[in-house]
Amino acid sequence: MTQPIVDLSLIKPSLLVVMGVSGCGKSKLAKGLQQQLNWPFQEGDSLHSEHNVQKMSEGIPLTDEDRLPWLGKCHDWLKERETTGNGSGILTCSALKKSYRDLLRKDIHGSFYFIYIHVPQDILLQRLQKRKGHFMPASLLSSQLETLDPPHADEPFIEVLVKNDPFEEVLQKILYQLQQHSIKS
């Protein structure tokens, strides 16, 4: 398959939230976008409280009450990028529910997109079982999938279905879609 032609200079500054369940590849994709676009990057997991990390490490799903302060920190980072930067930044955040995504983009007025990484459950489970050094155990995948409410038509999002596609191909697809959105706006 021929790769779409991407001209990075055509991509307008935007705030991106790379979202999806654990193991979908948020961090890898966000770092790839950061390298290509040279925009600030924040790993959302590093904004979790010790309490949240401990719960997840023990295989205990987070509640909405657990997530709200974390989502607030994620929103604050995005808002800071909008007000003090040039309106660009890349954040990883599971953003599983619409209410979470609404909180993340509250009072954001510039260009904003959720990058929704959709990966089949069997591939996610394989990835999580192989992953080392992360606090999120594979046992929590089912609770994340149950909580997941994929982006709705009224939300600004770009969806990419990932099976066993080469990473560079996935990255180029997203960059191309960002370019297309930039051209239209």
**Is the confidence at residue 132, as pLDDT, over 70?**
no
Spatial distance between the Cα atoms of 182 and 178, rounded to a whole number of angstroms: 6
Which of 36, 38, 19 shows the shortest CA–CA distance to 173?
Answer: 36
User: What gap in Å lies between CA 50 and CA 90, rounded to an integer?
Assistant: 23
pLDDT at 139: 58
Cα 60 from chain centroid (whole Å): 22
How would CATH label the architecture of 18-184? 3-Layer(aba) Sandwich (3.40)
Task: Give the single-character DSSP code of 166.
Answer: -
Best CA proximity match to 144, nearest among 42, 26, 17, 16: 26
- pLDDT tens readout for residues 75-87: 999 999 999 878 9
Angle at 102 between CA 49 and CA 8, to 5 degrees: 90
Tell me the residue type at 12. Answer: K
Judge if pTM exceeds 0.85.
yes
Residue 1 is predicted with a pLDDT of 53
Residue 142 CB coordination number (10 Å): 13
